[in-house]
Copies of this chain bind each other. A is one copy, B any other.
Amino acid sequence: MKLKDLAARLDCRLDGDGDLDISRVSGIEQAGAGDLTFVANTRYLGVLRTTKATAVILGHDAPAPPCAALRTDQPYLAFARAVALFADSSRPSPGVDPHASIAADVVLGDAVSIAPFVSIGAGARIGARTILASHVSIGPGASIGEDCVLHAHASIRERCVLGRRVIVQNGAVVGSDGFGFVPLTDGTYEKIPQPAIVVIEDDVEIGANTTIDRPAVGETRIGAGTKIDNLVQIAHGVSVGRNVMLAAQVGIAGSSTVEDRVILAGQVGVAGHLTIGQGTRATAQTGIPNSLDPGSFVSGYPAVDNREWLKSSAVVRKLPELKKRIAELEERVASLEAHLASVASPDERRGSRE
């Protein structure tokens, strides 16, 4: 594609020769001749000077590169769209593979694409243009919206509901039984049935091998626009708001509420029955045992304010030194006390013992 055409399609200002040919999009460190790359993060500006790319997407303030530039206010977004322009946009043909198993009363929307070994239970509905890859399992009575993509081995259990444009990566499970048991007096546990459902709103993405449990009563809900990475655990009865980001291996225990625009980094854990206020952020591996006010920024285990945690962590490293300084202080104070006792007048010494 000519660089001038790319500039037009990405709504960027072109600095350089518009007739250059671009054949793919690459990372800044790997880019070579014919490649378009980008710098959205100032940390990579240093690499920019030596890039071998043919063109680079840049913010308006970034320094001039040694190649052509596409300038924009939002270089990361322009990069995303450039990737889309060069990606193979082929999608599977509409149609139902003869190796699929679809119950008689299933309602299939127009132009659905159903791969081999897909199983769809009685009473389920599949929205128009939705793609079900191989080995997808749709339980009885489940409802999948329009324009969804479910990758191989995704499971949507009975009666669960997915909105429109939901993407489910491989092996993810929606609607497995919540972990609910009543301890009996003999030390065994009785299972609490988990018949209620999971609702996934529009534009959600669910990562590979992530699990989202159904509850006994009420519902488990993932709000519109929320993105969930791989191997995340969402327990029964959890309510996740809109435009939330949950990184890989996060775990959220039962009945907690995660409000809109929360961002949890990798391996964060949230205890049960909490409310994590709007816009809260937690750094990786944070353990959250209590509810958090909107706008919190937390770290550590148990979670505390991030700045406080940074300060405490710095001191933790110095603890052996601090312990030594305390012991030294004790010696010096004891020495001072002994000295004062020895120089005190007999009257004082007698007095100090009364």
A interface vs B, CB < 8 Å?
24-27, 30, 37, 43, 74, 76-77, 79-80, 83-84, 86-88, 97, 99, 101, 115-117, 119, 133-135, 137, 139, 151-153, 155, 157, 167, 169-171, 173, 176-177, 179-182, 184, 187-193, 195, 203, 205, 207-209, 211, 213, 216-218, 225, 227, 229-231, 233, 235, 237, 242-243, 245, 247-249, 251, 253, 260-261, 266-267, 269, 271, 273, 284-285, 287, 289, 300-302, 304, 308, 311-320, 322-323, 325-326, 329-330, 332-333, 336-337, 339-340, 343-344, 348
- CB–CB B83/A216 < 8 A: yes
CA distance A300 to B188 in the complex (A): 28
Q: Which residues of B contact A273 (CB under 8 A)?
A: 43
What is the chain B residue whose CB lies nearest that of A233? B248
Contact partner of A153 among B84, B155, B313, CB < 8 A? B155
Q: Which residues of B contact A30 (CB under 8 A)?
A: 217-218
- Asked if A179 meets B329 with Cβ closer than 8 Å, knowing A27-B217, A173-B169, A243-B188, the reply is no
- CB–CB B218/A26 < 8 A: yes
Q: How many copies does the complex hold?
A: 3
Q: Which residues of B contact A171 (CB under 8 A)?
A: 153, 155, 171, 173, 209, 211
Contact partner of A177 among B25, B169, B301, CB < 8 A? B169
Contact partner of A287 among B170, B229, B230, B284, CB < 8 A? B284
